[in-house]
Amino acid sequence: MTALARPTNGRMIGGVCAALARRFGTSATTMRVIFVLSCLLPGPQFLLYIALWILFPSEDKARTAW
């Protein structure tokens, strides 16, 4: 299993959707659509995105940590 890290290439805002897409083997566009659709439902989607942005290291920082 690979560690979750926000990629340096192919990210739009923070890279959270791209990191999750890479982890689950789907495209980043699919993950972004799922996120946008989930925002139509009540819940803390934006807070979760910000928390994951903080918790997931950037890919270049994750490489230096190993």
CA–CA distance, 53 with 51 (Å, rounded to integer): 5
Considering the entire predicted model, what is its pTM? 0.77
Mean pLDDT over all residues of the chain?
85
Top-confidence residue, 49 or 1: 49
Top-confidence residue, 9 or 36: 36
CA–CA distance, 15 with 6 (Å, rounded to integer): 5
Residue 65 sits at φ, ψ, to 5 deg, of -75, -25
Top-confidence residue, 3 or 39: 39
Structure confidence by residue, pLDDT tens digits, 15-47: 899 999 989 999 999 999 999 999 999 999 989
In the chain, where the domains are located: 16-65
